[in-house]
Amino acid sequence: MTSPELLRAFDLQVEWCRKLDASFTADVVETLADQLRRDGPLAELLPDWPGNPSADAVPLRLCGALHTLALEPGSSLAALYPPQATTLDRDALVRELNGALRSDRAFFEQMLQKPPQTNEIGRSAVLLGGFAEIARETGLPLALLEIGASAGLNLRWDRYRFELGVCSWGDPASPVRITSRWRGAPAALPPSIDVVQRAGCDTSPLDPRSRDDRRSLLAYCWPEQRERVERLTAALALTSADALSVERADAADWLETHLARRRPGMATVVYHSIVWQYLGEATQRRARAAIEQAGERATVDAPLAWLAFEFDPQARAHALTLTQWPGGARRRLATAHPHGADADWSMADLGQESQAAAPER
């Protein structure tokens, strides 16, 4: 029998999907939960989970597995998924699921071991406000260090066009256009932001040039949200032509190495978006220590910033927080939709609190 905690994770994911206008994916998750309660083939595959099933996004791992199969050319699942279908045929999905579990259980076991990687570039619309604030306050070009960078799409945010309601920013000719509704008092956006270095790491980096990796990213993108799918496809095409690649590394190891040297004449920015929850507690502690120790060594001509877009338990929302050294002052810049569709800018001083881990998306 499937554990109550695991079933609760599926119920919570249904709620999140409906709140985020993903009714098709909500129906898929609800159908999977029903199968777990019926003690069928899926319950045999997944009777329990060794960690926190919500923080580990177990329902989205299964959704990614099914969507991966649906993206295969000639797949019988494709007819059940957008854009070919707009509503879910639950009975047909269960038949396909049970058939796939019988024929290739190992595939599902493998997919359950992978945390979801959406590399959602809509989050760049929120991060942009933080980068603008850092550039304005330091007056220096930026050196970017992204952890959990996936395929590196959010390392290339300065190559996209942003339509933000109150203003626009970025190259008008960019094939990647990101729309976000900004409200409140956002940071003033300069005409351009100078990025002089960029690097990223991930425990399982993806390559935009790889057909399989592109399909993997698309599999974790909710299929009914066609604007996100099209935007991701455009970003993959844009970034596949350059030489930037994401390093395969543990976040703490990587930060300890990259933060060991000073970068005079530039502002070093460590950043991440909906990543912290996937780091183990030991990695979180070491990553935080590496950042804070580098912060103690920061100077006015070589400052350090920690920009994080994660779930904030105090705000009960996804929030963009910024910690800057010298000084270590921490602020909440905005609360925002987890995919960056909107952002409410209202800066709040948070003192010198440590970065909190994030729960489920």
- Which of 84, 112, 140 is the last residue before a domain boundary? 112
- Name the residue with tokens 């390392």: 155
Which residues touch 127 (CB under 8 Å, ≥6 apart)? 154, 157, 271, 273, 307, 309, 320
The pLDDT of residue 1 is 59
Q: What is the pLDDT of residue 73?
A: 86
308 and 207 within one domain: yes
pLDDT of amino acid 361:
43
Same domain, 32 and 131: no
Domain count, the chain: 2
What's the pLDDT score for residue 158?
97
Domain end among 91, 112, 133: 112
Kindly state whether residue 272 falls inside one of the protein's structural domains: yes
User: Which residues neighbour 310 within 8 Å (Cβ) at sequence distance 6 or greater?
Assistant: 272, 273, 274, 275, 276, 277, 318, 319, 321, 355, 356, 357, 358
Q: Let me know whether 209 and 298 are in one domain.
A: yes
* pLDDT digits 0-9 by tens, 29-42: 999 999 999 988 99
The residue from 112, 145, 172 where one domain ends is 112
Same domain, 68 and 127: no
What's the pLDDT score for residue 331? 96
Is the separation of the CB atoms in 91 and 296 below 8 Å? no
Does one domain contain both 25 and 166?
A: no
SS3 label, residue 27: helix
Asked if 257 and 191 sit in the same domain, the reply is: yes
Q: Are residues 157 and 279 in the same domain?
A: yes
In a domain, 190, yes or no: yes
pLDDT at 352: 55
Q: What is the mean pLDDT of each run of 10 residues along the chain (361 residues)?
A: 89 95 97 93 94 93 97 93 96 97 96 91 97 97 98 97 94 96 92 97 94 94 95 93 91 98 96 93 97 98 98 91 97 96 89 46 43
Residue 315: domain span: 121-351
In a domain? residue 361: no
